[in-house]
Amino acid sequence: MGAAPVLEELREVCQPQAKLASRNGEHWAGRLYMRRISLRFTRQLVRTPVTPDQLTWTMVVCGVLSGAALLIPGLTGAVLAALFMQLFLLFDCVDGEVARWKGQNSATGIYVDRLGAYLADAALMTGFGFRAAESGLGGWAGFNGWVSLGLATALGVVLLKASTDLVDVARARRGLAVADDESTRPRSQGVASVRRLAAAFKIHRVTNGIEASLVLLVVACADAATGGVEPTRWALAAIAAITWVMVPAHLLSILSSSRLR
């Protein structure tokens, strides 16, 4: 095992500024803190035989476990869910960094990475539904409307991600390059105004698993204080409503932009 690379050299190769600056290419938590943490893990991992694809699969497992953790009643389940989602974000950063340093980028890795994003968010929203179905005695109330609402929210989140990814599929089939940030701007001034308003309040972010896991952690504390699950139920209902308002709104935003032209 050779010496670990210098952090500055590693950062230059593994964290290209173009990716970090991209509005769609980097999660805000990555820019805020996780990229600082991930680079130190990457510095050690590049000295090992571990492959980027193995790290991506680890990311997928962490994402699914974040949803499964919500089957554990009480604050413990919510804490574990948030922790697994942070690990999901960590490995989401690390796999790409290791791939860039080792020159081992692959179509398989990109595919599994996107699959993992779908599975993680869907698992968390489904777990949210099971948590909302919890009875006041710490048991389960059965497969009821709250579980169905969690599944419906998971479906909405998947549709949001799919509608974004399908832009690249459509462009690739037309022989076009990947859409840049400029092309995402709506051509309609009305749609652009609504989009700016939504962006100002950042409400749409709660449909993402990382933000949703933090919301879950907050409402789990409220659950513990009140001795029930009403805060969790209200939070799930709010996220479900936001998600299903966003599904048609996001589709309209795509169709009114230059991404498909």
What does the pLDDT look like over 164-208, one tens digit per residue? 999 988 888 888 887 765 555 555 555 555 555 555 557 778 899
Q: Which two tokens stand for residue 146?
A: 């709250």
- Tell me the CA distances in angstroms from 8 to 2, 41, 51, 105, 244, one per residue in order: 17, 14, 22, 21, 43
Instruction: Give the span between the Cα atoms of 35 and 47, in whole angstroms.
Output: 19
Distance of CA 255 to the CA centre of its chain: 23
Does any domain span residue 261?
no
Residue 169, in any domain of the structure: yes
Q: What is the pLDDT of residues 224-249, one digit of tens each?
A: 999 889 999 999 999 999 999 999 98
Assess if residue 36 is contained within a domain: yes
pTM for this predicted structure: 0.86
CA 238-232-247 angle, to 5 degrees, is: 30
170: nearest Cα among 250, 255, 108, 111: 255
β-sheet bridge partners, residue 140: 134
Burial of 113 (0-12, 13-18, 19+ CB in 10 A): buried
Residue 28 in any domain: the answer is yes
Mean pLDDT across the stretch 133-154?
A: 74
Residue 44 lies in a domain: yes
CATH code of the domain covering residue 70:
1.20.120.1760
Query: Does any domain span residue 260?
Result: no
Establish how many alpha carbons lie within 13 A of residue 195's alpha carbon, considering only the half-sphere containing its beta carbon: 18
Burial of residue 140 (number of CB atoms within 10 Å: 0-12, 13-18, 19+): middle
Of 86 and 134, more confident: 86
> Domain tally for the chain?
1
Best mean pLDDT range from 2-11, 52-61, 159-168: 52-61
1 within domain boundaries: no
**Structural domain boundaries enclosing 239:** 7-255
**Half-sphere exposure at residue 30, Cβ-oriented, CA atoms within 13 angstroms:** 21
pLDDT of residue 71: 92
- Answer whether residue 107 is part of any domain: yes
